[in-house]
């Protein structure tokens, strides 16, 4: 399998690139400032961790040339996602757009129906570095879509760790879940898991 990684020098893309290289995948890196890929048909899969504008360009190239893709870039609007889904189905392209490839986070998202039925109140803290452009992270939006009752609080930190803290309460008990990312390799491991298993059941695919 020949894989093109767009944004391979970025914070997450570099971790994906290094991990796949270490696991003997045939990977080719494209930098952030190169939205056009020559001869995209040479690749079996494109992985993108750039920005929304570049991602839309890469996705369209993939669909036009029938190349499967995995995108971890955030910020897509609902109508954009719907169009991408329609175009993928029309061209028979397998596309994944997921805002967080962490295996524990995806497991929690897939299990959230139980918590919705059991608990009454939800408080969610999104803790990111001050350099993050998104006011609310894509991961937080995923959890918000699971439960409209969630109260979200965004916190900017000088630390490089990423934290998602969920506090759930009922009249009788409470439960707190904290997930902390110390290294973005945690996201790369989710990509590797998918490539090795071809199992996308755990992935919150926004166009799936």
As annotated, the active-site residues are 128, 132
Short-list 103, 104, 98, CA closest to 76: 98
Q: Are strands 68-71 and 45-48 parallel, antiparallel or unpaired?
A: parallel
Rounded-to-integer distance, Cα 156 and Cα 115, Å: 27
Residue 122: which H helix or E strand, with range? Answer: strand 121-129
Q: How far apart (Å, rounded) are the C-alpha atoms in residues 87 and 104?
A: 30
CA distances from 16 to 26, 28, 77, 145, 197 (A): 12, 11, 25, 27, 16
Assign 91 to helix, strand or coil. helix
């Amino acid at each position: 399998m020949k894989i093109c990684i767009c944004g391979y020098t970025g914070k997450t893309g570099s971790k994906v690139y290094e991990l796949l290289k270490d696991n003997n995948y045939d990977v080719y890196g494209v930098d952030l400032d190169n939205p056009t890929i020559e001869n995209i048909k040479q690749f079996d899969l494109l992985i993108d961790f750039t920005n929304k504008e570049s991602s839309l360009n890469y996705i369209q190239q993939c669909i036009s040339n029938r190349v499967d893709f995995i995108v971890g870039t955030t910020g897509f609007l609902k109508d954009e996602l719907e169009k991408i889904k329609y175009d993928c189905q029309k061209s028979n392209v397998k596309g994944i757009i997921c805002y967080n490839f962490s295996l524990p986070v995806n497991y929690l998202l897939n299990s959230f129906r139980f918590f919705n039925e059991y608990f009454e109140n939800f408080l969610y803290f999104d803790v990111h570095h001050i350099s993050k452009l998104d006011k609310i992270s894509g991961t937080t939006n995923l959890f918000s879509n699971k439960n409209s009752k969630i109260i979200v609080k965004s916190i900017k930190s000088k630390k490089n760790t990423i934290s998602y803290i969920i506090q759930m309460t009922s009249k009788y008990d409470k439960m707190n879940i904290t997930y902390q990312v110390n290294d973005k390799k945690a996201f790369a491991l989710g990509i590797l898991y998918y490539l090795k298993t071809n199992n996308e059941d755990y992935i919150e695919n926004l166009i799936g």
